[in-house]
Amino acid sequence: MSRALVPYFFKRMSLLVIFLVAAVTASAQKPKASPSPTPIDEGQSVITNIRRVRLPITVTDKKGSFVPGLTKEDFIILEDKVPQAIETFSDDISQITPLYVGVLIDTSASTAGKLKFQQESAMNFIQTVVKPRKDRALYGTFDDEVKLRQDFTNQLDLLDRAVYATKQTGTHTALYDAVWQFCDEKMRSAPGRRVLVLVTDGGDTYSRANMRDAIDIAQRTETTIFTISTKAGFLSTVPGVEAGQVAGENDRVLQTLAEETGGIAYFTGDMLSLERSFSKISKELRAQYLVTYNPANKNYDGNFRKIEVKLAQGRGDLRVRTKRGYKAIVDTP
Protein backbone atom coordinates (compact mmCIF):
# COMPACT_ATOMS: atom_id res chain seq x y z
CA MET A 1 0.00 0.00 0.00
CA SER A 2 1.29 3.49 -0.82
CA ARG A 3 2.52 5.51 2.19
CA ALA A 4 0.32 8.38 1.03
CA LEU A 5 -2.79 6.15 1.36
CA VAL A 6 -2.09 4.75 4.86
CA PRO A 7 -3.49 7.70 6.90
CA TYR A 8 -6.58 7.77 4.67
CA PHE A 9 -7.11 4.03 5.08
CA PHE A 10 -6.96 4.14 8.90
CA LYS A 11 -9.22 7.17 8.96
CA ARG A 12 -11.89 5.27 6.96
CA MET A 13 -11.51 2.20 9.19
CA SER A 14 -11.95 4.32 12.32
CA LEU A 15 -15.17 5.81 10.98
CA LEU A 16 -16.50 2.32 10.09
CA VAL A 17 -15.77 0.99 13.61
CA ILE A 18 -17.51 3.99 15.20
CA PHE A 19 -20.55 3.43 13.01
CA LEU A 20 -20.78 -0.30 13.84
CA VAL A 21 -20.45 0.32 17.58
CA ALA A 22 -23.24 2.91 17.44
CA ALA A 23 -25.51 0.53 15.52
CA VAL A 24 -24.96 -2.33 17.98
CA THR A 25 -25.60 -0.02 20.94
CA ALA A 26 -28.85 1.28 19.44
CA SER A 27 -29.99 -2.27 18.73
CA ALA A 28 -29.27 -3.34 22.28
CA GLN A 29 -31.24 -0.40 23.68
CA LYS A 30 -34.28 -1.03 21.45
CA PRO A 31 -36.84 -3.29 23.17
CA LYS A 32 -37.30 -6.63 21.42
CA ALA A 33 -40.73 -7.58 20.16
CA SER A 34 -42.28 -10.37 22.19
CA PRO A 35 -42.73 -13.55 20.16
CA SER A 36 -46.31 -14.69 19.62
CA PRO A 37 -47.18 -17.18 22.32
CA THR A 38 -47.78 -20.76 21.18
CA PRO A 39 -50.07 -22.49 23.65
CA ILE A 40 -48.80 -25.98 24.42
CA ASP A 41 -50.56 -28.52 26.58
CA GLU A 42 -48.82 -31.04 28.81
CA GLY A 43 -48.68 -33.52 25.95
CA GLN A 44 -46.94 -30.95 23.74
CA SER A 45 -49.92 -30.71 21.37
CA VAL A 46 -50.72 -27.37 19.74
CA ILE A 47 -54.12 -26.11 20.93
CA THR A 48 -56.36 -24.59 18.28
CA ASN A 49 -59.56 -22.69 18.96
CA ILE A 50 -62.74 -24.45 17.89
CA ARG A 51 -64.53 -22.67 15.10
CA ARG A 52 -68.20 -21.84 15.14
CA VAL A 53 -70.60 -24.61 14.20
CA ARG A 54 -72.90 -23.59 11.38
CA LEU A 55 -76.26 -25.34 11.03
CA PRO A 56 -78.57 -24.94 8.04
CA ILE A 57 -81.92 -26.02 9.50
CA THR A 58 -85.02 -27.13 7.63
CA VAL A 59 -88.42 -26.94 9.34
CA THR A 60 -91.50 -28.57 7.84
CA ASP A 61 -95.09 -29.20 8.91
CA LYS A 62 -96.85 -32.56 8.85
CA LYS A 63 -97.59 -32.18 5.16
CA GLY A 64 -93.93 -31.56 4.34
CA SER A 65 -94.37 -27.88 3.56
CA PHE A 66 -91.57 -25.53 4.60
CA VAL A 67 -92.34 -23.34 7.60
CA PRO A 68 -91.25 -19.67 7.46
CA GLY A 69 -91.42 -16.99 10.11
CA LEU A 70 -89.69 -18.68 13.04
CA THR A 71 -87.38 -16.65 15.28
CA LYS A 72 -84.19 -17.28 17.21
CA GLU A 73 -86.22 -17.86 20.37
CA ASP A 74 -88.04 -20.78 18.71
CA PHE A 75 -84.87 -22.87 18.47
CA ILE A 76 -83.05 -24.88 21.13
CA ILE A 77 -79.60 -26.20 20.19
CA LEU A 78 -78.08 -29.11 22.12
CA GLU A 79 -74.60 -30.57 21.68
CA ASP A 80 -74.13 -33.81 23.60
CA LYS A 81 -77.30 -32.80 25.50
CA VAL A 82 -75.69 -29.53 26.62
CA PRO A 83 -77.59 -26.36 25.61
CA GLN A 84 -75.63 -24.06 23.31
CA ALA A 85 -75.91 -20.30 23.04
CA ILE A 86 -76.97 -19.22 19.57
CA GLU A 87 -74.61 -16.54 18.26
CA THR A 88 -76.17 -15.73 14.91
CA PHE A 89 -79.55 -16.50 13.40
CA SER A 90 -81.05 -15.85 9.99
CA ASP A 91 -84.41 -16.74 8.49
CA ASP A 92 -83.50 -15.58 4.98
CA ILE A 93 -80.14 -17.14 4.26
CA SER A 94 -80.72 -17.05 0.52
CA GLN A 95 -80.16 -13.30 0.75
CA ILE A 96 -77.11 -13.18 3.03
CA THR A 97 -75.18 -16.42 2.50
CA PRO A 98 -73.88 -17.57 -0.89
CA LEU A 99 -74.63 -21.13 -1.91
CA TYR A 100 -71.91 -23.49 -3.08
CA VAL A 101 -73.53 -26.58 -4.57
CA GLY A 102 -71.85 -29.55 -6.20
CA VAL A 103 -73.88 -31.76 -8.55
CA LEU A 104 -72.33 -35.23 -8.89
CA ILE A 105 -73.74 -37.71 -11.37
CA ASP A 106 -73.16 -41.46 -11.42
CA THR A 107 -71.76 -42.42 -14.84
CA SER A 108 -71.30 -46.16 -14.25
CA ALA A 109 -72.39 -48.57 -16.99
CA SER A 110 -75.91 -49.03 -15.62
CA THR A 111 -76.70 -45.33 -16.12
CA ALA A 112 -76.09 -45.31 -19.88
CA GLY A 113 -79.79 -45.20 -20.76
CA LYS A 114 -80.52 -42.52 -18.17
CA LEU A 115 -77.55 -40.22 -18.63
CA LYS A 116 -79.10 -37.74 -21.04
CA PHE A 117 -82.14 -37.04 -18.91
CA GLN A 118 -80.04 -36.88 -15.75
CA GLN A 119 -77.97 -34.21 -17.47
CA GLU A 120 -81.04 -32.23 -18.51
CA SER A 121 -82.54 -32.36 -15.03
CA ALA A 122 -79.22 -31.47 -13.38
CA MET A 123 -78.75 -28.48 -15.64
CA ASN A 124 -82.30 -27.26 -15.00
CA PHE A 125 -81.59 -27.52 -11.28
CA ILE A 126 -78.34 -25.56 -11.58
CA GLN A 127 -80.06 -22.82 -13.55
CA THR A 128 -82.78 -22.59 -10.91
CA VAL A 129 -80.66 -22.68 -7.78
CA VAL A 130 -77.67 -20.53 -8.77
CA LYS A 131 -78.21 -16.81 -8.35
CA PRO A 132 -76.04 -14.75 -10.72
CA ARG A 133 -73.06 -12.92 -9.19
CA LYS A 134 -73.60 -14.66 -5.85
CA ASP A 135 -73.91 -18.45 -5.83
CA ARG A 136 -71.56 -21.02 -7.34
CA ALA A 137 -71.99 -24.55 -8.68
CA LEU A 138 -69.60 -27.28 -9.72
CA TYR A 139 -70.26 -30.41 -11.75
CA GLY A 140 -68.58 -33.78 -11.39
CA THR A 141 -69.03 -37.43 -12.27
CA PHE A 142 -68.09 -40.71 -10.65
CA ASP A 143 -67.71 -44.26 -11.92
CA ASP A 144 -64.31 -46.03 -11.85
CA GLU A 145 -62.89 -42.54 -11.46
CA VAL A 146 -63.99 -39.38 -9.69
CA LYS A 147 -63.76 -36.43 -12.07
CA LEU A 148 -64.26 -32.71 -11.66
CA ARG A 149 -65.82 -31.59 -14.94
CA GLN A 150 -66.33 -27.93 -14.00
CA ASP A 151 -65.08 -26.16 -10.88
CA PHE A 152 -67.18 -23.69 -8.89
CA THR A 153 -68.52 -20.97 -11.16
CA ASN A 154 -71.60 -18.82 -11.67
CA GLN A 155 -71.21 -18.90 -15.43
CA LEU A 156 -74.03 -21.11 -16.63
CA ASP A 157 -72.56 -21.51 -20.10
CA LEU A 158 -69.47 -23.21 -18.65
CA LEU A 159 -71.60 -25.51 -16.54
CA ASP A 160 -73.86 -26.32 -19.48
CA ARG A 161 -70.88 -27.19 -21.63
CA ALA A 162 -69.40 -29.43 -18.95
CA VAL A 163 -72.65 -31.25 -18.19
CA TYR A 164 -73.45 -32.11 -21.79
CA ALA A 165 -69.84 -32.95 -22.67
CA THR A 166 -70.11 -36.12 -20.58
CA LYS A 167 -70.65 -38.92 -23.08
CA GLN A 168 -68.93 -42.07 -21.87
CA THR A 169 -69.72 -44.23 -18.89
CA GLY A 170 -67.42 -46.32 -16.73
CA THR A 171 -67.87 -49.72 -15.16
CA HIS A 172 -67.97 -49.34 -11.38
CA THR A 173 -69.44 -46.87 -8.87
CA ALA A 174 -67.02 -45.01 -6.54
CA LEU A 175 -69.75 -43.21 -4.59
CA TYR A 176 -67.97 -42.85 -1.23
CA ASP A 177 -64.72 -41.73 -2.85
CA ALA A 178 -66.66 -39.05 -4.73
CA VAL A 179 -68.15 -37.69 -1.51
CA TRP A 180 -64.78 -37.79 0.23
CA GLN A 181 -62.83 -36.14 -2.59
CA PHE A 182 -65.26 -33.30 -3.27
CA CYS A 183 -65.84 -32.52 0.42
CA ASP A 184 -62.12 -32.55 1.17
CA GLU A 185 -60.87 -30.71 -1.91
CA LYS A 186 -63.75 -28.37 -2.75
CA MET A 187 -66.34 -27.98 -0.02
CA ARG A 188 -63.88 -27.49 2.82
CA SER A 189 -62.82 -24.05 1.56
CA ALA A 190 -66.11 -22.90 0.02
CA PRO A 191 -67.06 -19.55 1.67
CA GLY A 192 -70.78 -20.21 2.01
CA ARG A 193 -73.39 -22.92 2.51
CA ARG A 194 -72.08 -26.21 1.18
CA VAL A 195 -74.31 -28.73 -0.57
CA LEU A 196 -73.69 -31.91 -2.54
CA VAL A 197 -76.41 -33.45 -4.70
CA LEU A 198 -75.70 -37.07 -5.66
CA VAL A 199 -77.58 -38.69 -8.54
CA THR A 200 -77.01 -42.45 -8.67
CA ASP A 201 -78.81 -45.69 -9.45
CA GLY A 202 -76.94 -48.03 -7.16
CA GLY A 203 -74.62 -48.66 -4.27
CA ASP A 204 -70.88 -48.23 -4.05
CA THR A 205 -68.82 -50.92 -5.77
CA TYR A 206 -65.34 -49.43 -6.07
CA SER A 207 -64.37 -46.96 -3.31
CA ARG A 208 -61.46 -47.13 -0.90
CA ALA A 209 -63.48 -45.04 1.53
CA ASN A 210 -66.53 -46.44 3.28
CA MET A 211 -69.89 -44.94 4.21
CA ARG A 212 -68.74 -43.72 7.63
CA ASP A 213 -65.72 -42.02 6.03
CA ALA A 214 -68.05 -40.21 3.62
CA ILE A 215 -70.43 -39.12 6.38
CA ASP A 216 -67.56 -38.01 8.62
CA ILE A 217 -65.92 -35.76 6.03
CA ALA A 218 -69.28 -34.25 5.05
CA GLN A 219 -70.15 -33.45 8.67
CA ARG A 220 -66.72 -31.96 9.41
CA THR A 221 -66.78 -29.76 6.32
CA GLU A 222 -70.38 -28.71 7.06
CA THR A 223 -71.63 -30.17 3.78
CA THR A 224 -75.29 -31.13 3.43
CA ILE A 225 -75.87 -34.12 1.16
CA PHE A 226 -79.01 -34.70 -0.88
CA THR A 227 -79.29 -38.01 -2.70
CA ILE A 228 -81.47 -38.88 -5.68
CA SER A 229 -81.80 -42.54 -6.58
CA THR A 230 -82.67 -43.44 -10.17
CA LYS A 231 -82.53 -47.18 -9.55
CA ALA A 232 -86.12 -47.75 -10.70
CA GLY A 233 -85.33 -46.55 -14.19
CA PHE A 234 -87.40 -44.22 -16.31
CA LEU A 235 -89.11 -46.53 -18.77
CA SER A 236 -90.10 -49.26 -16.35
CA THR A 237 -90.01 -49.74 -12.61
CA VAL A 238 -88.14 -52.36 -10.67
CA PRO A 239 -90.57 -55.12 -9.58
CA GLY A 240 -91.80 -54.43 -6.06
CA VAL A 241 -90.16 -51.01 -5.86
CA GLU A 242 -92.18 -47.84 -6.27
CA ALA A 243 -90.96 -44.29 -6.55
CA GLY A 244 -90.31 -42.85 -3.12
CA GLN A 245 -90.01 -46.23 -1.47
CA VAL A 246 -86.88 -47.32 0.40
CA ALA A 247 -86.09 -50.97 -0.34
CA GLY A 248 -82.74 -52.68 -0.01
CA GLU A 249 -79.32 -51.91 1.41
CA ASN A 250 -78.30 -49.47 -1.32
CA ASP A 251 -81.38 -47.33 -0.64
CA ARG A 252 -80.64 -47.28 3.07
CA VAL A 253 -77.09 -46.12 2.33
CA LEU A 254 -78.38 -43.15 0.33
CA GLN A 255 -80.89 -42.37 3.06
CA THR A 256 -78.20 -42.51 5.76
CA LEU A 257 -75.79 -40.28 3.81
CA ALA A 258 -78.52 -37.66 3.54
CA GLU A 259 -80.02 -37.87 7.02
CA GLU A 260 -76.68 -37.82 8.87
CA THR A 261 -75.68 -34.60 7.09
CA GLY A 262 -79.01 -32.77 7.23
CA GLY A 263 -80.29 -33.58 3.75
CA ILE A 264 -82.94 -35.91 2.41
CA ALA A 265 -83.02 -38.88 0.02
CA TYR A 266 -85.33 -39.06 -2.97
CA PHE A 267 -86.21 -42.25 -4.84
CA THR A 268 -87.41 -41.61 -8.35
CA GLY A 269 -89.33 -43.91 -10.64
CA ASP A 270 -89.73 -41.78 -13.75
CA MET A 271 -88.48 -38.65 -15.43
CA LEU A 272 -91.09 -36.42 -13.84
CA SER A 273 -90.21 -37.55 -10.32
CA LEU A 274 -86.53 -36.87 -10.99
CA GLU A 275 -87.35 -33.31 -11.98
CA ARG A 276 -89.57 -32.93 -8.93
CA SER A 277 -86.75 -34.12 -6.68
CA PHE A 278 -84.40 -31.46 -8.02
CA SER A 279 -87.17 -28.87 -7.66
CA LYS A 280 -87.79 -29.81 -3.99
CA ILE A 281 -84.09 -29.51 -3.20
CA SER A 282 -83.95 -26.09 -4.85
CA LYS A 283 -86.93 -24.85 -2.83
CA GLU A 284 -85.53 -26.23 0.43
CA LEU A 285 -82.22 -24.44 -0.04
CA ARG A 286 -84.17 -21.16 -0.22
CA ALA A 287 -86.31 -21.94 2.82
CA GLN A 288 -83.71 -22.93 5.41
CA TYR A 289 -82.76 -21.15 8.62
CA LEU A 290 -79.11 -20.66 9.51
CA VAL A 291 -77.82 -20.88 13.08
CA THR A 292 -74.26 -20.62 14.34
CA TYR A 293 -72.95 -21.33 17.82
CA ASN A 294 -69.63 -21.53 19.64
CA PRO A 295 -69.45 -25.01 21.25
CA ALA A 296 -69.35 -25.02 25.04
CA ASN A 297 -66.86 -27.91 24.82
CA LYS A 298 -63.64 -26.31 23.54
CA ASN A 299 -61.51 -29.47 23.28
CA TYR A 300 -60.57 -31.26 20.08
CA ASP A 301 -60.79 -34.67 21.68
CA GLY A 302 -61.60 -36.69 18.56
CA ASN A 303 -65.00 -37.69 19.89
CA PHE A 304 -68.28 -37.45 18.04
CA ARG A 305 -70.46 -34.52 19.12
CA LYS A 306 -74.16 -35.24 18.77
CA ILE A 307 -76.29 -32.28 17.68
CA GLU A 308 -79.99 -31.95 18.40
CA VAL A 309 -82.19 -29.07 17.34
CA LYS A 310 -85.54 -28.71 19.02
CA LEU A 311 -88.32 -26.18 18.84
CA ALA A 312 -89.68 -24.38 21.84
CA GLN A 313 -92.84 -25.62 23.52
CA GLY A 314 -95.98 -25.31 21.51
CA ARG A 315 -94.32 -26.19 18.18
CA GLY A 316 -94.54 -29.99 18.48
CA ASP A 317 -96.45 -30.24 15.20
CA LEU A 318 -93.35 -29.20 13.26
CA ARG A 319 -90.36 -31.29 12.18
CA VAL A 320 -86.75 -30.11 12.29
CA ARG A 321 -83.88 -31.42 10.19
CA THR A 322 -80.15 -30.65 10.32
CA LYS A 323 -76.91 -32.63 10.50
CA ARG A 324 -76.73 -35.09 13.38
CA GLY A 325 -73.30 -34.11 14.62
CA TYR A 326 -69.60 -33.94 13.82
CA LYS A 327 -66.30 -35.41 14.98
CA ALA A 328 -64.26 -32.87 16.96
CA ILE A 329 -60.82 -33.14 15.40
CA VAL A 330 -58.29 -30.54 14.37
CA ASP A 331 -59.52 -29.96 10.81
CA THR A 332 -63.10 -29.21 11.83
CA PRO A 333 -64.01 -26.14 9.74
pLDDT in tens, 212-259: 999 999 999 999 999 999 886 654 443 333 445 566 788 999 999 999
Q: How many CB atoms lie within 10 A of CB 196?
A: 29
pLDDT above 70: percentage of residues in the chain: 79
Written out in words, the top-level CATH class of the domain with range 52-333 is: alpha beta
- Edge-first strand listing for the sheet containing 75-79: 82-84, 75-79, 304-311, 325-327
List, in order, residues 6 or more apart from 254 with CB less than 8 Å away.
198, 200, 227, 229, 265
* pLDDT per position as a tens digit, 157-194: 999 999 999 998 999 999 999 999 999 999 999 999 99
Q: Taking the model in full, what pTM does it have?
A: 0.81
Q: Where are the domains of the chain?
A: 52-333
Distance CA 22, CA 171 (A): 76
